[in-house]
Structure formats: C-alpha cells, structure tokens
Structure 1
Amino acid sequence: MTSSSPSFVQSSLLSLGRNLSIFPCGTSYRSRRSTRGFTLVELLVVIAIIGVLIALLLPAVQQAREAARRMQCSNNLKQMGLALHNYVDTYGKLPASSRGYGGCVGNAVDGEIKNANGIVALLPFMEQGAVYDLFNHKEAYSVNPGSYQRATGTVVGDPATNGNAQAAEIELQMLLCPSDNNPAKGRCAGSAYGPASGFSGAATNYDFIVNCGLEFGTCNGYASTAGNTKRMFGADVNTKFGDVLDGLSNTFMMGETTKYHVNGGAFAWAYRGWVMTGIDPHYSAQNGGINVWHQPWITSTWQSPPFVPIRGRARSWWVPAASLHPGGCHFLMGDGSVHFVQETIDKPTLLNLSVMSDGQVVLLP
C-alpha cells in the first residue's frame, strides 16, 4: 500500500539532516566549544609559586629528617647503655676499653698483644650473639706491624686466619649514626688502621670515654694514674659503678664521634689499631671540645696543600668528640641516660663530666 505522506523513518532522516546542516562540513559540536589554555605568563607565574613553596618546605623537611636521625642516634647509645648495665649485672664490673693494646709504650699486660676493643664484649647484650661467636676471643683481633706496634709483647695468633679480621669487617647499624654520611668502610684499613693485611675494618660512631693520651702513651697506665683524672674506662682495667664517686648521672660513659678522622683514620668497633683509644672530650686545657674540626696544636701548614677543615671530619683522634648533628653531639651517662651536649660547652665543665671521681660534681648545662 502506498501513501503520499512520508513514513516515520523518512521524517526522522529529514529532521536529522536539517539539524546537521547547521554545522559546516567537517566540524563537530565539540570543536566549536571554547578550548582556551594557559598563557605563557600564567605558566611562569604558576612555576614561580611552586618554586617558592618548595623553597619554604624543603628546610622543614630536612629538619624533620635530621630530628629523626638524631633520635635514632640517641636510641643507639641508649641500647649501648642498657648493654653496659646488663654486662655489669652479669659480671659485676664494666668491660675494659681494650685488652692487650699494642700501640702503647711499655709492656703489654701478661705479655700478650691482642688489640681487642671492649665493644665486642657487649655484643651478646645487644642481641648480636651470632657476631660475637664469630671471633676467636683467645687470639689477636688486629695486628699493626712495624712502628705501629710499640708495646713489648707477643701478638697472639693471626687475625687474618683466625677469623677476627673478617668478623671486624661487618657493619653494625646499631653502632652507626644515620646523620654521619662518611662511609663505614675504607678508613680502617692498611698497616696502621686495618685489622690485618687485605682487610678493612668497619668503623663505629660510638666509643668509651677514656684518657686517650694516657691510653696511647703508657701501657697499663690507668692502674697507676691519679684517681681524680680517671675516666670510667681504661685499657685492661674493669672499673665498677661504685668507683664513680661523682655519680653515674654526672659522668660520661660513652660518646659520639665521626667515622672520619683526618689525623687517625677512624675508630673500629671490633679492634684497636694505631691511635684507636676511645673518646676523650678534654685532652688538655688547650685542646678539647666538641665538633672541633681544627685543633690548635696542628698548624694549617701541617699538610700540603694547607689543611682546610671540613665539617663532619674530626681533626684528630685525641679529641674526637664530634658528630654531624648541628650544634653538638650525644653522650651516654653512667646511669644509662643520653644527653645532647652543645658544642659551646666550656672545657672545664667537659673535664668534670669526663672524670669519674674528681669531687667536682657538675650538672649538664
């Protein structure tokens, strides 16, 4: 059947055609909409604002990170304080700062040179018993031949073959400050500072408070030195908490140092090499302090080209109390508390805090 009126389909097509005919050929409704973007000036302004915000935010982020690192460093020393107190609970006395040190002048105790660092004795109390068992504790921990061995005695065993030199290469994170970006390996190597030929010991940021001049100068000198100059630790001597007459809360027990000593390499945690004696915040009235990157005793022309102090590199082994924390470093007190001591502290106060029975009881500033 035919009809003169258009069908529904035809009507729809005619209507669609009329609607489409309002747009030019090859265009669409989307392309007719406004697509205006940023101008170059607007982009530059946005980039400048972002740059300012980053500049304002970055110092705050860095300070937050350093605060976290400083807290971790403090916690490391607290763990060592717990280990020391547990050691005393077990043995009734503190470990010696070293045993059989061969870098001093005189006769080695019992005639045996072992160069043992007292930190090794703390490993079982720091959940590092497996590392402690790697050592042969009856033999030498390091050997430093020639002029680096000044003590008279016999080096017991060979660290290169008895396993001690290999164990000394282990990096223990609990003995490293996260703020110190100096490498833990590399400075404790060679005839003077290494555990044995071909080995590189791992450094530590923490060590015992000692009279470093005495430890290095005279073998077994701690036993005969005046009581009012004694620190809490000494070579081949086991002091007791009862010996700390100035009070445990008023006396330094351990301190912080850097993993880079310009004059002296660094301190290894496992052994005592050349000039590795421990931390002495007060070497003398002229030399001492915290974060001192250049010592008065050493002239600027000591090295060629002339020495330029670098922050984070303790100038000398004999006054190595230092850190990369801004403004000071940490100390572990005899009672197990940890305090951040400002680098502006005066030398007489440092001395009173370092010795354990001089009768000059001072409080931390």
Structure 2
Amino acid sequence: MQRQVHAGRNAFTLIELLVVISIIGLLMSLLLPAIQRAREAANRMRCSSNLAQIALAFHNFHNDNNYFPTAGAYLGSGTATQSWTVVANSPPYYYTPSVKNGQILPGRNQRLGWAFQILPYIELGTTYNNWPISPSSATLGLLATPVPLYYCPSRRQPELYGGMAQTDYAGNGGVVVDPSTGTPPTPDESQMSGLLKPSGFRPINMMSDVPDGLSNTLLAAEKQVDRKNMESNAIWDQGYWPGYNHSTIRWSAGTPIQVPAHDTLAGGSANSAMTAFGSSHFGSINAVMGDHSVRRIRFSADAPTFANLCNRRDGQVINWVNLE
C-alpha cells in the first residue's frame, strides 16, 4: 500500500499576515509616544545643561571682571549713548565689537552682547580674539558659525537661520515698562531691574547689586521665537552677538509662552514674540537663576510672581509653587 506524503506549509496565509501586521502596528503605536517622550526628556536635559554652562561662564566672567557680562549695545561708537534700535540694526555697530587701541573692550564698554562677551569662557576664546574689529568677509564668516551651546535641541538644530548663527537663550533684562505693549525699559538706571544692564551703565556685581538674592533672580532662559519666520532676520532673531536687542535680551512680558516645536507663534500679541521668554518644551521653559541653579517655569505660572523673579531688587519673596 502506497503512503501519501503531504508537503508542510512554508508560508503565511493572507489572514495570518494581516494579523501580524496589525500587531506590529499596535506595538508601534504604543512605543512611539514613549520614544518621543524619551527623546524630549533627553533634549530638555541638554537644554538645561546649555543654560548651566552659560551661567557658569557668567560666574567665571564675574571672577575675572568683578561684574556680570552686560547686555551691550547702548554704547554705540564707544563715545556716545544711542538708542538700542539704532545700534542693533545699523552696521557696523550691529556686528563689530567696541574697541580701543585695537583691543576689544570688556563688557562694561562693549556694544556687543553677553553671548559674545562670554565666548572665552565657553572654550571659544579663539573666536572672540579673532573677531574682526571692522566689517569684512571674515566678520561674515564668524556670523555664519553656529555655537551649539546656544541652541535648544527641542526647537532647532545648530544651523544657520537667515544666513546667521542664532541663539535660543536670552538674558534677563528685568520688568517691562508696559506689559500691554511689551515696551522694554528705557536707558534709565531706575528701570533696569534685571541681571543684565546695557553697556555704559554700571554693571551688576553679584555681591552688592542683587538684594533679592541670586537664587531668587532670573539670569537667563529660553526665549520666545516664531518658528515659521526664523529665516526672516526679524529683530527677535538677529544672531547671538547683538547687544540689548530682542535677540539676546528678554523681559517679563507676562508669563512664558509655549511655542510648539514645528508651529507658529502660540498666543500673545505681536510684541510678545520680541519681549517674552518661551520654549518648545512641553509644559514649561528651562531657566537658570543667578546662583547657577536651573529650574523649570511652567507656562501657566503666576505672572506677578514671574515678574518678581525678573526683578533683582523688589524685595519680594519668591513662592516657587506659583512658578514650577
């Protein structure tokens, strides 16, 4: 009697294949949010590290000069005080440093901003020392050299935007004069309540000029940026070197504003894009205090308390429950 031998199956049926695909799809849908959260957590940590290194550079600058870096810009040609709008937008003051006898002047008399002044303290002393003191092709080359430390990885890569290297961090200029319009303080000592003053004014000594305490005063934080206009060279994104410009200084224009990583301006007036702090992180911004501590300020923070945080001398006790 002859036995019949049946060959075994060596392939999936269509139904089995569809089941496998659906299971893989389900697993991916479950894993993807976790992967995204892990990536954002890593980006937030890198952003916090950036701010911590910036604060350390401020303190090392202070150790050498006995004052914090300045906001820059008001000192136009090195001899006369000018409106920041004139200096910030008028070459060569916009991108060439204040010099005397061929030497770059220190922060007290430097029209370029804090992010330029601390270059020697973030291992970019060569960039600082080789910065051309007059407009040239070399200047343009430096303007087009990104500093990775100045970029928040949740917002954008350290690339050129509008043909220039940018920064996602801004120093604390204090409390805005008119919150409804976002008007920054005028060049008046009485209105300069932040940790960064314009050049030409007596700079901040952290031992004698911060009565509220360094741990209760904002030094720098992420800034509000309109992501859909990052190539426009708008006044709030004109590079990392300008002084007392919305690119490098912000004020307490209400509370920080959330800007989705790939979206446009989220809420606020047109002025808020220029004056406010903000970020692309979920729920809060990263901010570093004068004592070098990095904290999170939520987007729903109490506006008056945030204004107190931006004021180094208002005598108010910071209730962190209202901010974090």
Instruction: Summarize deviations over 1:120-142 as a string: whole Å, max 9, x none.
Output: 11111111112112213xx4xxx
The structure with more radius of gyration:
1
TM-score, L = length of structure 1: 0.67
SS at match of 1:44: helix
The one-letter code matched in structure 1 to 2:241 is: A
In the alignment, structure 1 residue 118 sits paired with structure 2 residue 83:
no
SS at match of 2:53: helix
The aligned residue for residue 264 of structure 1 is 235
Contact preservation (8 Å) 2:193, 2:311: yes
Give 1:255 deviation, angstroms.
1.1
Contact preservation (8 Å) 2:115, 2:241: yes
Q: Runs of 4+ in structure 1 displaced over 2 angstroms? A: 99-108, 112-115, 163-166, 181-187, 211-219, 258-265, 271-277, 308-320
Query: How far apart, in 1, do the equivalents of 2:52 and 2:69 lie?
Result: 17
In the alignment, structure 1 residue 289 sits paired with structure 2 residue 251:
no
Specify whether residues 64 and 124 from structure 1 end up closer, same or farther in structure 2 by C-alpha distance, changes over 3 A only. Answer: same
Give 1:211 deviation, angstroms.
3.9
- How much is the aligned-residue C-alpha RMSD, in angstroms? 3.3
Contact preservation (8 Å) 2:164, 2:238: no
Count of equivalent residues = 279
State percent identity of aligned pairs: 29
Contact preservation (8 Å) 2:57, 2:121: yes
Query: How far apart, in 2, do the equivalents of 1:59 and 1:34 lie?
Result: 41
Contact preservation (8 Å) 1:314, 1:320: no
Query: How far apart, in 2, do the equivalents of 1:277 and 1:63 lie?
Result: 29
The aligned residue for residue 84 of structure 2 is 104
Specify whether residues 310 and 273 from structure 1 end up closer, same or farther in structure 2 by C-alpha distance, changes over 3 A only. Answer: same
Give 1:264 deviation, angstroms.
3.4
Query: How far apart, in 1, do the equivalents of 2:302 and 2:267 lie?
Result: 21
Query: How far apart, in 2, do the equivalents of 1:166 and 1:179 lie?
Result: 26
Contact preservation (8 Å) 1:291, 1:314: no
The aligned residue for residue 305 of structure 1 is none
The one-letter code matched in structure 1 to 2:307 is: L
The aligned residue for residue 352 of structure 1 is 308
SS at match of 1:63: helix
Contact preservation (8 Å) 1:171, 1:184: yes
The aligned residue for residue 78 of structure 1 is 52
The one-letter code matched in structure 2 to 1:81 is: A
Match of 1:232 among 161, 183, 195: 195
The aligned residue for residue 37 of structure 2 is 63
In the alignment, structure 1 residue 201 sits paired with structure 2 residue 164:
yes
Give 1:48 deviation, angstroms.
0.6
Instruction: Summarize deviations over 1:8-47 as a string: whole Å, max 9, x none.
Output: xxxxxxxxxxxxxx899xxxx9xx5323532111111111
The aligned residue for residue 326 of structure 1 is 282
Specify whether residues 258 and 106 from structure 1 end up closer, same or farther in structure 2 by C-alpha distance, changes over 3 A only. Answer: closer
Gaps of 5+ in 2: 77-81, 99-110
SS at match of 2:308: helix
Match of 1:338 among 262, 282, 294: 294
Specify whether residues 106 and 178 from structure 1 end up closer, same or farther in structure 2 by C-alpha distance, changes over 3 A only. Answer: closer
